[in-house]
Chain A
Amino acid sequence: MATGSIWSQRPVVAGRWTLKDVVQGKPFGHPSHPPFVHFPSALLPSALVFDVVSRPDADLTLTRAAFYNIALGLGIAVFAAITGLVDYLPMVGGSRKKIIGTRHLIAQVCGLSLFTLSLLVRSFDFDATQTPLTAVLLAAAGAVVLSVGNYFGGTLVYRQGMRVSVEL
């Protein structure tokens, strides 16, 4: 893929990759942030689906599935956050990319915090066959905020071309 070839030609400090380069995925010829973001983006809203279904159709399998979806989603989000921050922090202040990146960052932090609170609430009654309403509402709010954050992330890539480079 052309993206990889250009990345592999990128200047390196003292003839070798820096830790920042490695975390950004440059030695592998591919940005490291995208492979991680899909998991929380899919797992966390899926938990909300299980939550909603568990309300009329009480079933321990559903509430457990939602719990583990959130736990796994938040766990992988840590890697998404690290790789995202390494991309975000060196951006030049005041640039359009940094402004959109800041919006993306704030929304993701808020969304993940809401899901963390939701996980906390449901952990008090781990054997519940219906997800507590508070936990459902927190997850719903988290899903909405995450979607907004994902929109800004998508704007960075698809409109601004962040981490996109091709042979022209």
Chain B
Amino acid sequence: MCITCGCDEPEANHGNPKHITLQQLKDAAQAAEVDINQLKKNIDEGLKKYAGAQ
């Protein structure tokens, strides 16, 4: 969905590289050698710790 904007289009970048697509997350998971569930957990923890997310 861009996995971030709520558009329900996981591979659409909306013409702007700042949007994060599902493929980018899969690539990031592969680079980090974690599965997608662990990736989600890591991002969640990171956002809570460094960006004030609840």
Contact = CB atoms under 8 A, between A and B. Distances in A.
A94 interface: yes
Contact of B12 (A11, A98, A161): A161
A164 B10 contact: no
B27 interface: no
B32 to A, nearest CB: 21
Contact of B6 (A91, A163, A165): A91
Interface in A141-168: 160-166, 168
A27 to B, nearest CB: 15
Contacts, number: 58
Nearest to B13: A165
Interface residues on B, range: 10 to 19
A85 B13 CA distance: 21
A96 B6 contact: yes
Contacts of B13: 6, 161, 165-166, 168
Given A96-B5, A98-B6, A161 B11 contact: no
A10 interface: yes
A14 interface: no
A162 B15 contact: no
A30 interface: no
Interface string B1-30: 100011111111111110100100000000
A6 B11 contact: yes
Nearest to B6: A95
A11 B12 CA distance: 12
Given A91-B6, A94-B6, A95-B5, A165 B16 contact: no
B10 A10 contact: yes
8 contacts: A11-B10, A90-B8, A96-B6, A97-B6, A162-B7, A162-B14, A165-B13, A168-B16
